Amino acid sequence: MADKYFFEQQKEQSLVKAQIVAKYFWAWAKVIIPQAKKRKTKIAYIDLFCGPGSYEDGSKSTPLMILERAINEPDMRDLLVTFFNDIDPNYTESLEKAIDSLPNINLLKNKPLIRSGEVDNAILRTFKDNSLIPSLLFVDPWGYKGLSLELIGSVIKNWGCDCIFFFNYKRINPGLNNQFFQEHMNALFGQEKADELRAQLKTKTPYERELIIVESISQSLKAIGGEYVLPFCFQNEKGTRTNHHLIFVSKNVLGYSIMKDIMAKASSSTEQGVPSFEYNPATSLQPLLFELSRPLDDLENMLLDEFAGQTLTMKDIYHRHHIGKRYIERNYKDALLKLEEQGKIITEPLKRKIVKGKKTFADTVKVTFLPK
């Protein structure tokens, strides 16, 4: 259960988190709705730890941000099904009142479903035993109880289903070596991976522990079918240590690309135009995190090595290379422009538009990489 003071005032981190989830939902819905219409199905937003409708300072929680947008989108208000759950009945009662007071809430074809209870085996069985409509699952527990690989896997197995979840590193880190939380940690990582972590972490520094733990959960998600995993790190208010991560999981590369752009814009800093995703530097011992933390200077050499002797369009280069790396499309265009200036690639067409004193690099530009 959340700290009783948590919902008094919305902190900047909570606002950023809510905005990331809401922006992805809207972008996801735009992609899914045309296909949902063809399949004659609905779409869903599922929030299993929804909290109240708003903070005491008046700031709106994620459920209200989602619903307000849905009310104003004709397709969404006809197709959207929402399910909100929280173990605290005071929160669900507050949320229900806030939803009922939203202007034009009756325009929604499907009344929001609200439940108060634990995220237990009953919910898990419902997800596992049924073919779900396209759904975005948001799991934001205060700690980690109720969050499991099995839960996430039971949703993302279905077409059009993605998951965003809150990974409370601050509590999970000590919980791994606490026998009282062994069952929860096994459910979160998988027992084999959790046992490996317990043995591996004994001699590691705090810095190394974080890299290993986040890399481990990312790889565990890949093992259950979440091919595309993207973590976003939140530090404490002083910026001295990590509090938690927001982790996105999808089977679809388009969803990954959309979330990558959203998280890039939410990043508090960039290095040479490369978004930070709020990561601490990682090492080659953690492949996923390492690839997501390499600077722009390395991108040029990576492209020259990987595509030597090949001819591809800029768009093809981006799609074939960016998975698992924190580079965004703009970074690839900047790197290719530099390689062009250095005479290390051949482009077609050579003559292109100049915008603000800089040559453009359209998606259709063909790039020939010289053989090694």
> What number of H helices and E strands is found in the chain?
15, 14
Question: 257 Cβ partners below 8 Å, 6+ apart?
Answer: 322
One digit per residue, the tens of pLDDT, for the chain of length 372 reads 444 434 444 567 778 888 899 999 999 999 999 999 999 999 999 999 998 877 666 678 899 999 999 999 999 999 999 999 999 999 999 999 999 999 999 999 999 999 999 998 889 999 999 999 999 999 987 666 788 899 999 999 999 999 999 888 778 878 888 888 888 888 888 888 888 888 888 888 887 888 888 888 898 999 999 999 999 988 766 556 677 789 999 999 999 999 999 999 988 777 788 887 773 334 445 556 555 655 777 899 999 999 999 999 999 999 999 998 889 999 999 999 999 999 999 999 988 888 877 888 999 999 999 998
| pLDDT reported for residue 109 | 95
Of 67, 93, 91, 92, which Cα lies nearest the Cα of 80? 67
Residue 12: what pLDDT?
72
Tokens of 277: 């995703």
Contact 49, 146 (CB under 8 A): yes
**What single DSSP character describes residue 168?**
-
Q: What's the pLDDT at 180? A: 81
How far apart (Å, rounded) are the C-alpha atoms in residues 197 and 252? 28
CA distance 94 to 114: 11
337 burial level (CB within 10 Å; 0-12, 13-18, 19+): middle
Q: What is the pLDDT of residue 6?
A: 42
Tell me the H-state helices in 157-234. 169-175, 182-189, 191-201, 206-223
